[in-house]
Amino acid sequence: MSGPDIAIVGAGAFGSALALALAPTRRVVLWGRNPPRWPAGADLTEKPRTDDAGLTVTTDLAQATAPITLLALPAQALRPFLSQHGPALSGALVSTAKGIDLETLEGPSRSIARACPGAVIAVLTGPSFAADIARGLPTALTLACADPQAEAIQHALATPTLRLYRTADVTGAELGGALKNVIAIAAGAAIGAGFGDSARAAIVTRGFAEMTRLATRLGAEAETLVGLSGLGDLILTSTSDQSRNFRYGLSLGRGQTFDAGVTVEGAATARAVARLAPRVDVEMPVASQVAALSEGRTTIAAALATLLNRPLREE
Ligand SMILES: NC(=O)C1=CN([C@@H]2O[C@H](COP(=O)(O)OP(=O)(O)OC[C@H]3O[C@@H](n4cnc5c(N)ncnc54)[C@H](OP(=O)(O)O)[C@@H]3O)[C@@H](O)[C@H]2O)C=CC1
Ligand SMILES: O=C(CO)COP(=O)(O)O
């Protein structure tokens, strides 16, 4: 029998969910340094499968070899992981990370390109909670890839309930996914502080404007930002308390502590944006308040005052 169709590196909530979604129709190998963190509500009972499908779980990275490898690691873990293990990875490398590296101020695709020169690089992003994917609920995501293999990867990762749209704008797709987490924290903080739904709508809308400003300055197409990977994911994450970023924001707004063990990509990305945006002369008022809040440099009342006291201007 031939080897796996798809390898998944990272057995956290999202890697495990993707494994469950793909295994009924593909041969999938899921690698984690620890046992998988199956999403809440996932059905782990063995399903009847053909010889051409099924899931293998391993802690041996050498077994995670396939024509397509999904890198389902948090953004701040991806570059360190690649610098250690990049040469061992094979096939097209598809990142699911939604963040900007704090040290290099680059997105996942650049980290992969540096560590694995010559690899086919793609990004899988868009609105999708791991628990929904694991349960096979209908979802639509963006597969961003500028390589001629893009269409083949799109087909290899789509399922009857996981619909993938394709774009060649990798920069736009990965920045949309990274920046929406920052704005989702701000939305959660507004709700947590009791500022109300109108304030949340203002933050999401103005937040989307600054997401688009930064992304287009860095080479993204504005059209990508209004797609699933940008606006679509921003809507999901800013309105649902299934989102860890939104819940973290809620706790900031309420003045409560938050479990440091939970992955909150937007906190580090807000700090990365606070360093990156001035370098390219882009104003990111909401993101800079999220960075200050998450570092304890401001209070929720002072953050609100800073945003409200900005000079009045055209929309
Ligand atoms: N959860 C979701 O709903 C979605 C998540 N994403 C994105 O996918 C990415 C992963 O998120 P998610 O799975 O939820 O995160 P989790 O926190 O659930 O899991 C992270 C996984 O990464 C592993 N990991 C962390 N650091 C390393 C390392 N240095 N070497 C090896 N493994 C490591 C962890 O291993 P260990 O358990 O051993 O610590 C864990 O298995 C994030 O960028 C997220 O934004 C995208 C869409 C939806
Ligand atoms: O990216 C996600 C949904 O698309 C998951 O959001 P959180 O990381 O905020 O839980």
User: Domain check: are 155 and 53 in the same one?
Assistant: yes
Give yes or no for residue 132 CB within 6 A of ligand 2.
Answer: no
Q: What is the pTM of this model?
A: 0.97
Give yes or no for residue 139 CB within 6 A of ligand 2.
Answer: no
Choose the final residue of a domain: 131, 151, 168: 168
Specify the ligand 1 atom closest to the Cα of 129: 3
The pLDDT of residue 76 is: 98
Which residues in 70-91 are b (16+ Cβ under 10 Å) and which e?
A: bbbbbbbbbbebbeeebeebeb
Q: Do residues 128 and 163 touch, judged by C-beta distance below 8 A?
A: no
Ligand nearest to the CA of 176: 2
pLDDT band at 231 (very low <50, low <70, confident <90, very high): very high
User: Domain check: are 214 and 290 in the same one?
Assistant: yes
Domain span including residue 145:
6-168
User: Domain check: are 162 and 245 in the same one?
Assistant: no
User: Domain check: are 279 and 189 in the same one?
Assistant: yes
Half-sphere exposure in the Cβ direction for 25 (13 Å, CA)? 12
pLDDT band at 50 (very low <50, low <70, confident <90, very high): low
79 C-alpha to ligand 1 centroid (Å): 13
Is 13 labelled as part of a ligand binding site? yes
- Count how many domains the chain has: 2
34 C-alpha to ligand 2 centroid (Å): 21
Q: Amino acid identity, residue 172?
A: G
User: Domain check: are 130 and 186 in the same one?
Assistant: no
Report the nearest-CA residue for atom 20 of ligand 1. 12
Residue-wise pLDDT tens digits, 156-197 = 999 999 999 999 999 999 999 999 999 999 999 999 999 999
Give yes or no for residue 26 CB within 6 A of ligand 2.
Answer: no
In a domain, 147, yes or no: yes
Residue-wise pLDDT tens digits, 193-209 = 999 999 999 999 999 99
In a domain, 1, yes or no: no
Overall average pLDDT of the 225-232 stretch: 98
